Amino acid sequence: MKADLHIHSYHSDGKYSPAEIVFYAAQNHLDMISLTDHDTIDGLADAQEACRKYPSLTLISGVELSTYHESDELHILGYGIDPAYPALTALLEETHNKRQARLRRVLARLQELGVTLTYEEVDSAFHTSSLGRMHVARLMIERGYVRTIREAFDRYLSYETNQITYTSGDFISSQMAIETIAAAGGISIFAHPTIALFDRYLEPLVAFGLRGIEIFKGSRPSIEEFYLETVVKDKGLLTTGGSDWHGYHQTQTLGSFYVNSGQIQRFLTALGL
């Protein structure tokens, strides 16, 4: 079995529609996928509908929530969630409001730096209610301010540049995300943690109810993977993996990275699959 449990559509910051993603997944012989858009589940219904054409392809409902704990932004994946669960709907509305406020502040700062883009321009240019820095970067390219996504982040949009900042008020709490995912019938997973973030936050996140760690991804060195897998298994947590595919790199096709059933069997069992 070939699975990719971390994919983004144009409902957040990916390039392709949910239906296109399902088509590419089937064409490239994936057996299981999860659509995990940032702070939105708007694409799940379309993905589920598209999957009806491909009986051999299993879709797991998912979302990637932007959260904050102590001094860091942490991403929490939710799998097997009930999209209609009221507390989840309310949480996503809160993340939308926080994203909107954060983006307006970023754009105001860019105005000071000579990049004159309005929120309304960014909003009208994309399919999503889950707007973020990637959308700003793409519009900056279109308007000629930068030539590449990397340049946009290196010069303006990376928090490391100190041109823009964020605070805990820009995000929901990690605890709230984990607890809401559980209440919505889902399984919470710490998305693509660095070793530093893993070591610092594993214990408190597990105390909040975190169920597992996204260990397997194409860019992770094998020595890091071994360390994470050893600790996670020792603590009885679940392991997952995915490409974090957005569709922009032409050399990285959907299906070129995958995890097999042996790597994620306990996770699949927990989902009832």
Instruction: Kindly report whether the global pTM for this prediction surpasses the value 0.85.
Output: yes
- Give yes or no: residues 120 and 196 share one domain: no
CB proximity list for 113: less than 8 A, separation 6 or greater: 156, 163
CA nearest neighbour of 78 among 237, 167, 169, 188: 188
- Give yes or no: residues 63 and 100 share one domain: no
Q: Mean pLDDT over residues 146-156, rounded?
A: 95
Q: What is the overall mean pLDDT for the chain?
A: 95
pLDDT at 168: 83
pLDDT in tens, 82-102: 999 999 999 999 999 999 999
pLDDT in tens, 238-262: 999 999 999 988 778 999 999 999 9
Q: Mean pLDDT over residues 221-234, rounded?
A: 95
Q: Mean pLDDT over residues 24-33, rounded?
A: 97
Question: How many domains in the chain?
Answer: 2
Q: Is the four-CA dihedral 110, 113, 117, 122 of positive or negative sign?
A: negative
| Residue numbers of the domain that contains 70 | 3-83+175-270
pLDDT in tens, 178-209: 999 999 999 999 999 999 999 999 999 999 99
Domain with residue 263: its CATH number is: 3.20.20.140
Q: Mean pLDDT over residues 150-173, rounded?
A: 90
Give the strand pairing for 212-216 and 187-190. Answer: parallel
Per-residue DSSP letters for 246-257?
A: -S--TTS-TTSS
- Give yes or no: residues 248 and 145 share one domain: no
Domain with residue 149: its CATH number is: 1.10.150
| Domain boundary pick from 111, 143, 168 | 168
